Amino acid sequence: MRWLATALALSLGVAHAQDARLRPAIGALERQDYAQAIDQLKPLAAEGVPEAQYLLGMALEGAPEPAKDERAARAWYVRAADSGHAAALNNLGAMHYDGRGGERDYAAAASCYRSAAQKGLPEAQLNLALMYGLGRGVEQDDASAARWMAKAAEAGSPRAQYYYAALLQKGRGVRRDLAAAHDWFLKAAQGGDKRAMGELATIYELGLGAPADPARAQLWRDRAR
């Protein structure tokens, strides 16, 4: 299995904010009106509202030129992360990992992911698992990779479900279990993961962890296209 076969997971969802002052900015972000979102978020972020700091980081990171400013986005993620904001920690970890808005630092990325993962954020749990699998920023450890991937999979992340199924299928960091691998591939496929659909087609074609079923194999092969 190749680790990091896909991009690291970012926390991009905009939840309903408890602070009513954030609602216009959230609406602007949902419409991809970055200029309006940035204007509305800056005063609240400067005031020290962690959610506003996180959202401002997202807006500055996602905005098209000339409003895009990854260095400023990173700085706002830092301020939100200092308050323990899990999604900001995760996105700051991705910026450290990629070297966007500043220097690349795998150890700092892993530290951010770990802090967010311990707060229960599935995207960060997936990212930390990938770091352990790759041995980037942390000592390579398949068992830790499998443990964190399982947490993200159980939280409902289709990407993590796919990766965890692959670990179970190959017995990497966890006891090999083809039946359990089938079940996790199925969950991931039902969540829309195309790679999992392709794996299910092979499983049903060869009878690996589930009875051979040519009709199901063709069904998932067609869905994977």
pLDDT, tens digit (0-9, with 9 covering 90-100), for 150-188: 999 999 999 999 999 999 999 999 999 999 999 999 999
Return d(Cα 41, Cα 36) in angstroms, integer: 9
Give CA–CA dist 196/161, Å, rounded.
Answer: 9
Beta carbons of 166 and 174 less than 8 angstroms apart: no
C-alpha Rg value of the chain to the nearest Å: 20
Question: pLDDT-derived band of residue 16, with 50, 70 and 90 as boundaries?
Answer: very low
| pLDDT tops 90 at residue 4 | no
pLDDT greater than 70 at residue 198: yes
pLDDT of residue 6: 38
CA dihedral 153, 159, 164, 167 (to 10 degrees): -170
Report the alpha-carbon distance of residue 20 to residue 185 in Å, rounded: 40
Domain residue ranges in the chain: 23-83, 177-225
pTM of the model: 0.90
